[in-house]
Structure 1
Amino acid sequence: MHFLKKLFSEKTDFYKLLQEQCQLTLDGVISLQKYLETASREYGDKVTKLEKTADRKRQELIDALDETFITPFEREDIFALSGAIDDILDYCDTTVKEMDVYEIKPTDKLKTMVETIRKGTELVNLSLCNMNKNKKEAMRFAVGAKKYENEIESLYRKYVAELLKEDDIKYILKMREIYRHLSNCADKISLAGDILGHILIKMI
C-alpha cells in the first residue's frame, strides 16, 4: 500500500528533467565552440565537466522512470530522447579529447561545423522547452533542428574532399576522425528531432 501511495502521490516532472539535460548539452556545445575560438584549455575542460554533469542528470531521469508509474508520454520515448541528447554532448567531449590526443589545432572548418551544430542543438532545446506549453511551436523547432544534419553532412563531404588533397597522411587521418565525430553529433541532433516529432505528433 505504501508503494502504491508513493507511485501515485509523487509526480516527477519529466519535462523539467529533459529540459535541464538539454540545457547542459547546449552549454557543452557552446563551450566547444568557445574552445575552438580561443584554443583555451578552460573551455575544453568545461565540455568534459558538463558531459559528466549531464550523465548524472540522465541517470536521475532513468531512476525516475524506474520509480514512476505514470509518465506524460511513453517511457520508451523519454528514454530514447534523453539518450539522443546525451549522445550530442558525448560527441562534443570526444571531439575535444581527440583534438588533444592528435594535437589538432582549431581550424575555420571546425568552427563552421560546430556553429552549425550549435544552431541545431538550440532548436532541439527550444522544442523541448515548448513541449508542455506550445506543442505546435515545439514541432516547428523539432523539424527545424533536423535540417542542420543535412548542412553538416554537406560540409563533411566538402571538407573531407579538400582534406584528401593534402600530402600529410597522418594529418588527413586525424582530421577525418574529428570531422567524423562532428558528423555523428549532427546525426544525434537529427535523431532528437525525429523523436520529438514522433512524441508531438501523438500529442497534437
Structure 2
Amino acid sequence: MFKWLFSKDTDFYKLLGEQSKLTLQGVYALEKYMMTGNIEDGHEVNRLEKIADRKREELIDELDKTFITPFDREDIFNLSKAIDDILDYSNTTVKEMEAYNLQPTGELQEIVTVIKYSTDLIYKSVCNLNRDKREGMRQALKAKKYENEVENLYRENLAKLFEEEDIRYILKMREIFRHLSNCADKIDLAGDILGHIYVKMM
C-alpha cells in the first residue's frame, strides 16, 4: 500500500502546461473568429474547449489518485479550474454571438487581442512553475495588468454601446462584452493563484 502511494509519478507540471496550452490555442481561435467573422473559426474554439475539458478531467483524476503532489493539491485544482474557465468564457462568447446572429466588431477584436496577450502570459507562467520561478511570477503579475486593460475597454465600449438606438442590439452586445469581461476576470484569478503558488515556492 505504501509503495503504491509513494511511487505514483504524475507530472502535474506537464498536465497543467498541456491544459493551459489548449486554452491559449482556444483564445487564438477566438481572435481569428473576431477577425474573419467565419463561424467555422468560431467552432474551432468549441472543439478545443472539449479537448481541454478532457485534459482537465485527466488532471483531476490523477489528483484524486496521487498521494504526493509537487505543490498544494488545492492550488493545482484551483489553477486548473481558472484556466478552464478562461476557455469556457471564450467558447460561450462564440455561442452567444451565433445565437444572437451578431458579427464581430473592431471593439470586440481589440478586447480579445488583449485577452490573448494575457492568456499567453498565463501559459508561460504555468510553464515556469518547475523552471524559472522569478520569471513565472513576473509573467503572472503582468497578466493581471492586462486584465485591468480589458476592464477599461469593457467600460469604455459599454458607454459607447448605449449611444446606439437599437435596444435589442444594445442588450445583445452587452452580453458579449460581459462574457469577455468574465473571461478577463478568470485570467486575473489564474494570475492570483499562480502568484500564491510562486510565493510559497520561492
Query: Shorter-chain-normalised TM-score: which range?
Result: over 0.9
Partner in structure 2 of residue 173 of structure 1: 171
- 1:43 CA displacement: 1.3
Does the 8 A contact of 2:125 with 2:140 survive in 1?
A: yes
Partner in structure 1 of residue 145 of structure 2: 147
Partner in structure 1 of residue 136 of structure 2: 138
Identify the match of residue 191 of structure 1 among 175, 189, 192: 189
* Alpha-carbon distance in 1 for matches of 2:187, 2:133: 19
- CA RMSD, 1 decimal: 0.7
Q: Give the letter for the 2:96 counterpart.
A: E
Partner in structure 2 of residue 61 of structure 1: 59
Matches within 5 A, 1:11-26: 11-26=9-24
- 1:203 CA displacement: 0.4
Matches within 5 A, 1:45-194: 45-194=43-192
Does the 8 A contact of 2:8 with 2:67 survive in 1?
A: no
Count of matched residue pairs: 202
* Alpha-carbon distance in 2 for matches of 1:111, 1:44: 13
* Alpha-carbon distance in 2 for matches of 1:15, 1:119: 22
After superposition, give the CA deviation of every residue in 1:27-56 in whole Å (9 maximum; x if it has no partner).
000000001111122211110010011011
Structure 2 residue matching 1:166: 3-state secondary structure: coil
- 1:169 CA displacement: 0.2
Structure 2 residue matching 1:167: 3-state secondary structure: coil
* Alpha-carbon distance in 2 for matches of 1:36, 1:197: 31
* Alpha-carbon distance in 2 for matches of 1:185, 1:151: 13
Q: Give the letter for the 1:118 counterpart.
A: K
Q: Give the letter for the 2:61 counterpart.
A: D
- 1:149 CA displacement: 1.2
Q: Give the letter for the 1:60 counterpart.
A: E
Task: List runs of 5+ in structure 1 lacking aligned partners.
Answer: none
Partner in structure 1 of residue 8 of structure 2: 10
Q: Percent identity?
A: 64
Task: List runs of 5+ in structure 2 lacking aligned partners.
Answer: none
After superposition, give the CA deviation of every residue in 1:44-76 in whole Å (9 maximum; x if it has no partner).
111001001101100101000100000000000
After superposition, give the CA deviation of every residue in 1:93-115 in whole Å (9 maximum; x if it has no partner).
00000000001101000000000
Structure 2 residue matching 1:73: 3-state secondary structure: coil
* Alpha-carbon distance in 2 for matches of 1:10, 1:76: 18
- 1:6 CA displacement: 2.2
- 1:10 CA displacement: 2.3
- 1:89 CA displacement: 0.1
Q: Give the letter for the 1:191 counterpart.
A: L
* Alpha-carbon distance in 2 for matches of 1:37, 1:165: 24
* Alpha-carbon distance in 1 for matches of 2:185, 2:39: 27
* Alpha-carbon distance in 1 for matches of 2:39, 2:135: 38
- In the superposition, the TM-score normalised over structure 1's length comes to 0.98
- In the superposition, the TM-score normalised over structure 2's length comes to 0.99
